[in-house]
Every structure is written in C-alpha cells, then in structure tokens.
C-alpha cells in the first residue's frame, strides 16, 4: 500500500507512523508531508529514514491507498478536498468535516460499517469524544442513554507539540505563554477552545454534537465541561450517565467488559497507566440509583483519541 501522512512532524503525525509500525500495516511506500518549515527533516519508519516533503496541491493529486491528515482544520479544508477529488481515501483528524452530513464520523468499533466500499473523506472524531463513546456505546445499545454529564481532564499534548513544549518549559521555570491563555504548569484551565454560544467552549460542542452523530441518536442530552490539566499524555473523564431502563451494577460491568478495546478494572486508573496504550480503561463504577451511574474513563489521547482510531479505520477498509 501507498500511504501518505499530512502533518507528519506533529504530535499525532509522528504517532501515526508509530502505530502503522505497531499494527504491522503492510506499507509499500510511505510519504510524509508537512509545512515548508519542516521540509527536509527525516523521520524513521520501520528502521528506514524518510524525508519529509512540503505539502503541495500537486502532491495531493497523486494516487494513494490512504492519506492520513493531522495538520489542522484550515489545511484539511483545502488539501483533503483536493486529494478526495482525485480519487483518494482521506482519513482526517481535524474538525473540518466531522459534522458534514454526508461525511462519516467513524469509531470503527461502533460504526465501522459506514466505510464499507466508501471513497472520499472520513472524519476522525475528537479525542475526548472517542474514548467516551467507546466506553458507553454498548450501554446505550442495551439500556438507552438519556443523559450524559461529563467533566474532562485533558492532557496538554491534546493541544499539539508546541503546547507540550510550552508545558515542559514552564515546568523548568520559563513561564512564557504562547499556546494556552494561562499558565498550565501547576494549574488547571477550565476552558478548551474558543468560547461560542451561551459560554460553551468549542471542545464542549464537539463532545455534544459528535457523540450524537456517532451513536446515531439526537435525543441524548449531553452536559460537558472540558478542562486542561498539567498532564503530558492521557485524557481522563468523569462521566455520569442516566439510562431509560433500570439496570443492575453487574450488568454495567458486563456491558463495559464486552466493549471492544475497553477494559473495566477495579483499580483506579491514571493517565500514567495508559500512556502508549491503545485501550480505554474504565474504573470507579458507582451506582446512584436504578437509572444513574458514574465511571472514570482514561485513555491515551494521542493514540486512542487520534492516531490509533485513524489506523483502525484504515484497517477496517483494507480488510
């Protein structure tokens, strides 16, 4: 297979290369693209050094089996469309196409059937959305979720490589701020993304709208608060769920255990426990009443929440 990665030098792009290796995807040729600033750098794939090329319109008109995009909304809006118009399958990690009605928003374990015989652009959901729906989709299938109250504790790497560097600089004593509105080291910031309508943030609207689209149910009410925390890798979520049907706590454990790429554990899982892994870990299960329970949900945001989901989409389509 010929695969291209756009945004290859970024945090997610580099991880996409690693996940391709880890999953032993049969790549005959890998082409890496980035901005003019990163042109000429070398990245390693399966022991070989590959030179990073500048992203151009011409390069997107070439033929690929798959193009993986993780270069931001503006880049995707322009270049992914060119690639798709020239017959390429694009798996895009930005927010550019997620809510476009005729473009599938895919978590393979839940709605992978949408990409069967599909050509064009496929949207990769938001990182915090992916790990939440992986944990709850079986519960929704059997018990019908009415309401979700979720507070996120999102790692700095979710804002990209520059954000991670800013955090590490602040840990070292340099408190300069370029990425985050306030110091993130030794702090939490109770807003992620731009503030939109009614004082909700962009990230919160993503969780509301994307969850409904992935689960194919607009009746679910979702109440998110998204927070940035001083953690390098691994998003955590405190989730309270109300169902239409009564349940027993043993039933929730069983449904969580049956969810693909989800592990339910009695241990309290932390971001450090999940770094570098491709699994969502669920713990702290508590029942409030016959219709309401709470879980603690943790996953590596760069892998599960981005690169791994993209490669799993590729795997579903390849097979």
The pLDDT of 175-195, averaged and rounded, is 95
* pLDDT value, residue 265: 97
User: From the candidates 78, 86, 137, 235, which is the catalytic residue?
Assistant: 235
Same domain for 133 and 120, yes or no, is: no
What Rg value do the Cα atoms of the chain yield, rounded?
Answer: 19
Q: What's the CATH number where 291 sits?
A: 3.30.360.10
- DSSP assignment letter at 25: -
Counting residues of the chain whose pLDDT is more than 70, the rounded percentage is: 100
Asked whether residue 101 falls in the same domain as residue 161, the answer is: no
Find the mean pLDDT for residues 115-135: 97
Average pLDDT, integer, range 243-265: 97
Residue of 257, 239, 242 whose CA lies nearest to 297: 239
Predicted confidence at residue 274, as pLDDT, reads 98
CA 154 to chain centre: 12
Residue 109: give the domain boundaries: 2-124+306-318
Mean of the pLDDT values across residues 212-240? 98
Distance set, CA 258 to CA 72, 138, 164, 253, 290 (Å): 34, 8, 34, 9, 21
- Give the residue among 53, 50, 45 at the shortest CA–CA distance from 21: 45
Residue with tokens 């050094």: 49
Say what the pLDDT of residue 89 is.
98
On whether the pTM is more than 0.85, the answer is: yes
Confidence of residue 319 (pLDDT cuts 50, 70, 90): confident
DSSP run (H or E) holding 140: helix 127-143
Q: Is the domain of 144 the same as that of 286? A: yes
61 and 87 assigned to the same domain: yes
Lowest mean pLDDT among 136-145, 191-200, 307-316: 191-200
Task: Report the alpha-carbon distance of residue 141 to residue 260 in Å, rounded.
Answer: 14
Return d(Cα 33, Cα 255) in angstroms, integer.
41
Residue 118 exposed, middle or buried by CB count within 10 Å (0-12, 13-18, 19+): middle
In terms of domains, do 100 and 141 share one?
Answer: no
Give the model's pLDDT for residue 215.
98
pLDDT above 90: residue 285:
yes
- How far, in Å, CA of 131 to CA of 256, rounded? 13
- The total number of structural domains in the chain stands at 2
pLDDT, tens only, 91-103: 999 999 999 999 9
Q: Averaged over 123-143, what is the pLDDT?
A: 98
pLDDT for 197: 80
Task: Provide the mean pLDDT of the chain.
Answer: 97
Q: Verify that 79 and 160 share a domain, yes or no.
A: no
Q: Single out the catalytic residue among 78, 113, 127, 140.
A: 127
**pLDDT bracket for residue 19 (50, 70, 90):** very high
For 149, the token pair is 């109250």
What CATH number is given to the structural domain containing 102? 3.40.50.720
187 has pLDDT over 90: yes
Q: Is 287 helix (H, G, I), strand (E, B) or coil?
A: strand
Distance CA 201, CA 203 (A): 5
* Averaged pLDDT for residues 161-180: 94
Q: Tell me whether residue 137 is one of the annotated catalytic residues.
A: no
Do 192 and 102 reside in the same domain of the chain? no
| Same domain (yes/no): 282, 310 | no
- Whether 60 and 86 have beta carbons less than 8 Å apart is answered as yes
- 119 alpha carbon, distance to own chain's centre: 21
pLDDT value of residue 307:
98
Give catalytic status of residue 127 as yes or no. Answer: yes
Note the pLDDT tens digit of each residue in 34-44: 999 999 999 99
Residue 262 pLDDT class (50, 70, 90 cuts): very high
Asked whether residue 137 falls in the same domain as residue 222, the answer is yes
Q: Quick one: 160 and 218 in the same domain?
A: yes
- DSSP-derived letter for residue 201 is B
One domain for residues 108 and 209? no
Question: Do residues 90 and 150 share a domain?
Answer: no
Alpha carbon 44 to chain centroid distance? 23
The distance from CA 72 to its chain's CA centroid, rounded to whole angstroms, is 13
């Amino acid at each position: 297979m010929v695969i291209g990665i756009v945004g290859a030098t970024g945090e997610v792009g580099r991880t996409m290369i690693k996940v391709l290796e880890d999953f032993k995807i049969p790549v005959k040729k890998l082409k890496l693209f980035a901005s003019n600033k990163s042109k000429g750098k070398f990245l390693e794939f399966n022991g070989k050094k590959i030179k990073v090329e500048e992203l151009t319109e011409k390069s997107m008109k070439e033929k690929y089996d798959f193009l993986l995009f993780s270069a931001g909304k503006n880049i995707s809006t322009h270049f992914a469309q060119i690639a798709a118009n020239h017959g390429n399958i694009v798996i895009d990690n930005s927010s550019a196409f997620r809510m476009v009605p005729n473009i599938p928003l895919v978590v393979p374990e839940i709605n992978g059937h949408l990409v069967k015989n599909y050509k064009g652009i496929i949207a990769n959901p938001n990182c915090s959305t992916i790990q939440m729906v992986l944990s709850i989709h079986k519960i929704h299938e059997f018990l019908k979720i009415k309401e979700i109250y979720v507070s996120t504790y999102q790692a700095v790497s979710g804002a990209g490589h520059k954000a991670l560097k800013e955090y590490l600089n602040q840990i070292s004593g340099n408190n300069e701020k370029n990425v985050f509105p306030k110091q993130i080291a030794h702090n939490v910031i109770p807003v992620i993304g731009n503030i939109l309508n009614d004082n909700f943030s962009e990230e919160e609207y993503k969780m509301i709208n994307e969850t409904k689209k992935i689960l194919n149910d607009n009746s679910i009410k979702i109440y998110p608060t998204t927070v940035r925390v001083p953690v390098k890798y691994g998003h955590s979520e405190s989730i309270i769920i109300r169902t239409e049907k009564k349940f027993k706590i043993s039933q929730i454990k069983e449904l969580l255990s049956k969810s693909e790429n989800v592990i339910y554990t009695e241990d309290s899982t932390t971001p450090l426990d999940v770094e570098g892994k491709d699994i969502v870990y669920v713990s702290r299960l508590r029942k409030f009443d016959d219709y309401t329970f709470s879980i603690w949900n943790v996953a590596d945001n760069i892998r599960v929440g981005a690169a791994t989901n993209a490669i799993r989409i590729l795997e579903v389509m390849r097979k």
